[in-house]
């Protein structure tokens, strides 16, 4: 153990961990829970050997706690259950015709360049995210956690990596279309 | 030859995993000849870039802090966990 106490972890890294969780869970209470469980697990594990910075170590634990919370939530609401693959294949097929060509070709839009444009783009992106089925937006938001270790995380979420890629694809198809409609207008 | 549907799937997956060599070549070829998929590719990349920037901005945003109530509650939870872990062998 380093000479940092769990209270130092809370004081020095609590806010950071909270922001990390809040960005991905988009729910203040869930984010608080994730931080608390991370700190408790950190006390129990006693594996901190000072090899990585405490923040990196704690963030590693937090990622698993976020996955845990999402799994618990998805069990409570079957419509958000990630392990139930969406049966609605048609959702994506609407974008392509039978020969696999675009039914509706992507329209050109200008990539957001400066800071102001990026801000506007982000607002629209978040609105679009809210319109996606919740399990798709969840997975899309934790994509970077998933990227770290997709085998382990898929196991925890009881989905196959292939399913996860399919869901991320659907999320992006939906987001892109929604942005096309709303970003073009601005 | 990839269809646009297959190309769009690979474009999305290229953001989540490393494509195999043959996937990369067939995608690269498709993107050379297909304006729509090339555009799709750029658009997904800019969505991802904005998302990544937003995540890291949020992580660094010092105005965003644990509510005081939550901090107090956690301090207590930590106290009792520390006490409990001392009792464990
Ligand atoms: Zn194409």
With a cut of 90, say whether residue A14 has pLDDT above it: yes
Which candidate, A89, A23, A12, A7, places its Cα nearest to that of A56? Answer: A12
* Domains delineated in chain A: 6-76 (1.10.1740), 81-183 (no CATH)
> Helix, strand or coil for residue A90?
helix
Which candidate, A22, A139, A142, places its Cα nearest to that of A80? Answer: A139
**Measured between CA atoms, how close is A95 to chain B, in angstroms?**
8
The complex scores an ipTM of 0.88
Q: Tell me the residue range of the domain where B23 lies.
A: 4-87
**Measured between CA atoms, how close is A57 to chain B, in angstroms?**
16
**Scanning every residue of chain B, which has its alpha carbon at the shortest distance from the alpha carbon of A163?**
B13
Considering only CB atoms, A165 lies closest to which of B13, B36, B64, namely B13
> Helix, strand or coil for residue A158?
coil
pLDDT 10s digits, A22-74: 999 988 999 999 999 999 998 888 665 666 788 999 999 999 999 888 888 77
Mean of pLDDT over chain B: 93
pLDDT 10s digits, B39-81: 999 999 999 999 998 999 999 999 999 999 999 999 999 999 8
**Scanning every residue of chain B, which has its alpha carbon at the shortest distance from the alpha carbon of A45?**
B85
With a cut of 60, say whether residue A141 has pLDDT above it: yes
Considering only CB atoms, A19 lies closest to which of B9, B59, B81, namely B59
- CA-atom Rg of chain A in angstroms: 19
With a cut of 60, say whether residue A1 has pLDDT above it: no
Contact A7 B75 (CB under 8 A): yes
- The residues pairing with A102 across neighbouring beta strands, listed in sequence order, are A96
Residue A175 with chain B: CB contacts under 8 Å? 47
């Amino acid at each position: 153990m380093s000479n940092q106490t769990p209270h130092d972890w809370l004081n020095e890294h609590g806010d950071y961990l909270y922001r990390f969780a809040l960005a991905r869970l988009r729910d203040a209470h869930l984010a608080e829970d994730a931080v608390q469980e991370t700190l408790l697990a950190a006390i129990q594990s006693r594996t901190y050997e000072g090899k990585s910075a405490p923040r990196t170590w704690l963030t590693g634990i937090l990622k698993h706690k976020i996955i845990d919370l999402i799994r618990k939530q998805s069990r409570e609401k079957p419509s958000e259950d990630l392990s139930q693959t969406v049966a609605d294949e048609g959702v994506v097929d609407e974008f392509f015709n039978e020969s696999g060509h675009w039914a509706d070709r992507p329209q050109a839009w200008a990539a957001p360049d400066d800071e102001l444009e990026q801000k506007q783009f982000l607002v629209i992106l978040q609105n679009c995210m809210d319109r996606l089925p919740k399990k798709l937006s969840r997975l899309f938001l934790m994509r970077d956690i998933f990227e770290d270790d997709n085998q382990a995380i898929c196991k925890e979420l009881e989905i196959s990596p292939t399913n996860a890629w399919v869901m991320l694809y659907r999320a992006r198809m939906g987001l892109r279309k929604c942005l096309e409609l709303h970003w073009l207008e601005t | 030859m990839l269809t646009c549907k297959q190309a769009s799937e690979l474009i999305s997956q290229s953001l989540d995993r490393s494509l195999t060599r043959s996937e990369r070549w067939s995608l690269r070829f498709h993107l050379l000849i297909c304006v729509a998929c090339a555009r799709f590719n750029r658009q997904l990349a800019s969505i991802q870039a904005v998302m990544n920037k937003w995540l890291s901005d949020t992580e660094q945003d010092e105005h965003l802090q644990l509510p005081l109530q939550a901090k107090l509650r956690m301090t207590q939870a930590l106290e009792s966990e520390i006490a409990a872990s001392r009792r464990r062998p």
